[in-house]
Amino acid sequence: MFFASDNWAGAHPKISAALSAHATGFASPYGTSDIDHAVEERFKEIFERDLAVFFVATGTAANSLSLATVSRIGGVAFMHREAHMIEDECGAPEFLTGGARLRPVDGSLGRMTAENLERAISHFEPEAVHAGRPMAVSVTQATEVGTVYGLDDIETIAAVARKRNLPIHMDGARFANALIALDTTPAEMTWKRGIDIVSFGGTKNGCWCAEAVVLFDTSKAHEFGFLRKRSAQLFSKSRFIGAQFDAYFADDLWLETARHSNAMSARLADAIEASAKARLAWRPQVNEVFAILDSDMIRKATEAGAAFYPWNPPSWFAGPIAENETMCRFVTSYATTSEEVDRFGALIA
């Protein structure tokens, strides 16, 4: 009953096998090998367009360098108040962009609204050196709270940015999970809705370490090469990332693992909805479930070996939480089994 986080899982057997398969022979380093190129072509097929893709070490690196590539002196990036970049990256985006500021935008269920974004950006208009100036908008898809932006939501938000020529970034640490939730294609969820840059994460969905920055504007690729190296994010034996992505995409493994982890969360949510001792904080769309449990239940579940974390209720959460209750987060992964979920369900039944 490991629901602590999707990064508590290891690597899918097919990912491991791919690493072993690519371990022999000589290949040119620093992103120039055959497998690197093949994976880039694969990304183009998946996104149905020309693009440039850069492997980096972590999701934080992908987000930070995505912003860095569109950074401006005095620049301000807009994102949801509880975005990972604001809450969980230790100032890396600010540092690696050379001083950009992140401006929180409100919205319920982890999604900023276009209206709030409009208001937040217009605070910096007309442009003046004192306040600084807007430089980018970032949406997290799926969000930090297990929900997703609808395709129309993305389009509406992108429109707010687009009318100021602001680039739009998508933090896709759980990209595949969002894709499954929306039953759509990578192209539809990104550039067809106005997204310019994607932090494309594979780690949480079954890889060891497979994070990439996808640039739809290939004119930024040359510059990005320097940016990645200067940020100490250029792997020498980059084929070890390439091999993971190769297996990740083969036979739609990535969709399969995401579909599975989403389904496990839905199953878990159902169990919680059916429980008298726990209740959903809100209905999940991807592989994170937020629920409210009382302290007895938490103790009992923990003693039974369930692993999950308490969670600070988001600013927009209006529901009542009693004195002896705590909001908790449960995350499922490719490695979560329905037996585990059912065992937890039985526990809280």
Binders of a second copy in range 55-74 (CB under 8 A): 56-61, 64-65, 72-74
Q: Is there binding between residue 115 and a second copy (CB under 8 A)?
A: no
- Rounded to an integer, what distance in angstroms lies between the CA atom of residue 132 and that of residue 113? 22
Query: Any alpha helices (H) in the chain, and if so which ranges?
Result: 13-21, 34-47, 59-68, 84-87, 92-96, 114-122, 151-162, 175-182, 186-189, 221-230, 239-249, 253-274, 295-303, 338-348
- Kindly tell me which of 169 and 228 has the beta carbon lying closer to a second copy: 228
Residue 154, CA distances (Å) to 85, 182, 240 in order? 19, 12, 33
Instruction: In angstroms, give the least distance from the CB of 185 to a second copy.
Output: 27
Instruction: In angstroms, give the least distance from the CB of 103 to a second copy.
Output: 10
Cα–Cα–Cα angle for 144, 150, 151, nearest 5°? Answer: 125
- Rounded to an integer, what distance in angstroms lies between the CA atom of residue 34 and that of residue 40? 10
Q: Is there binding between residue 37 and a second copy (CB under 8 A)?
A: no
Q: Which residues contact 24 (CB under 8 A, 6 or more apart)?
A: none
- Kindly tell me which of 97 and 156 has the beta carbon lying closer to a second copy: 97
Q: Is there binding between residue 132 and a second copy (CB under 8 A)?
A: yes
Site for a second copy in 176-205 (CB under 8 A): 203-204
Instruction: In angstroms, give the least distance from the CB of 187 to a second copy.
Output: 28
Among the listed ranges 1-9, 146-154, 186-194, 322-330, the one in contact with a second copy (CB under 8 A) is: 1-9
Q: Is there binding between residue 89 and a second copy (CB under 8 A)?
A: yes
Site for a second copy in 151-170 (CB under 8 A): none
- Rounded to an integer, what distance in angstroms lies between the CA atom of residue 268 and that of residue 291? 10
Instruction: In angstroms, give the least distance from the CB of 70 to a second copy.
Output: 13
Instruction: In angstroms, give the least distance from the CB of 65 to a second copy.
Output: 8
- Kindly tell me which of 26 and 322 has the beta carbon lying closer to a second copy: 26
Categorise residue 9: left if φ over 0, alpha if ψ from -120 to 50, beta otherwise. beta
Q: Is there binding between residue 321 and a second copy (CB under 8 A)?
A: no
- Rounded to an integer, what distance in angstroms lies between the CA atom of residue 107 and that of residue 143? 11
Site for a second copy in 208-267 (CB under 8 A): 208-209, 223, 225-237, 239-240
Token pair for residue 19? Answer: 């690493």
To the nearest 10 degrees (0 to 180), the angle between helices 13-21 and 239-249 is: 130
Name the residue among 173, 97, 89 with its Cα closest to residue 135. 97
Instruction: In angstroms, give the least distance from the CB of 314 to a second copy.
Output: 12
- Kindly tell me which of 143 and 199 has the beta carbon lying closer to a second copy: 199
Q: Is there binding between residue 96 and a second copy (CB under 8 A)?
A: yes
